């Protein structure tokens, strides 16, 4: 296998780890997978503007939004992984579903779209440096998606 093929296989495995981490709430593993600085663009989900966050800030945000009383599920399909030296770009289709506990009002929110995720090979292995999500379609209770416990 060429070096690029090895890198693509590594990134494909880490991509699975990343999204499995959302469901399992393995925040320590998630912290390992993000770089010290991460560009986040969720404007298509209603965020006011793209942001540059620390790795700690982005994991804290995920932890807050995907709390224990909100079930979540992600399904990825058709990942396209392009590697160039110590950088890689992944475009992957995604379906996400959030379900809020009945004690918090219940409800379901679903979303279809595409993640564009930038990776860089660092001293700690491959890490995410940018997340851009482009919504194709949503349905359900938006309150479920934005719900936090605080």
Render 13-34 in DSSP notation, one character per residue: HHHHHHHHHHHHT-HHHHHHHE
3-state secondary structure of 85: coil
Q: Tens-digit pLDDT profile for the chain (150 aa)?
A: 457 899 999 999 999 999 999 999 999 999 999 999 999 999 999 999 999 999 999 999 999 999 999 999 999 999 999 999 999 999 999 999 999 999 999 999 999 999 999 999 999 899 999 999 999 999 999 999 999 998
- Domains assigned to the chain: 3-146 (3.10.450.50)
pTM: 0.94
Position 2 scores a pLDDT of 57
Phi-psi region of 63 (alpha: psi -120 to 50; beta: other; left: phi over 0): alpha
Buried-state track 100-130, b at ≥16 Cβ within 10 A, e below 16: beeeeeebebbbebbbebbbebeeeebbbbb
What is the distance of C-alpha 58 from the center of its chain?
10
Position 150 scores a pLDDT of 85
């Amino acid at each position: 296998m060429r070096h690029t093929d090895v890198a693509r296989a590594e990134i494909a495995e880490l991509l699975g780890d990343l999204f499995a981490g959302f469901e399992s709430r393995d925040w320590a593993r998630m912290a390992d997978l993000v770089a010290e600085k991460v560009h986040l663009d969720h404007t298509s989900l209603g965020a006011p503007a793209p942001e540059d966050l620390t790795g700690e800030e982005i994991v804290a945000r995920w932890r807050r939004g995907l709390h224990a009383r909100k079930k979540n599920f992600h399904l990825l399909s058709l990942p396209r992984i392009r590697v160039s030296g110590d950088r890689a770009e992944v475009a992957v289709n995604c379906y996400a579903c959030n379900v809020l506990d009945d004690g918090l009002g219940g409800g379901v929110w679903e979303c279809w779209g595409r993640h564009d995720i930038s990776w860089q090979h660092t001293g700690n292995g491959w890490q995410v440096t940018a997340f851009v999500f482009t919504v194709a379609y949503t349905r359900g209770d938006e309150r479920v998606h934005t719900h936090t416990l605080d």
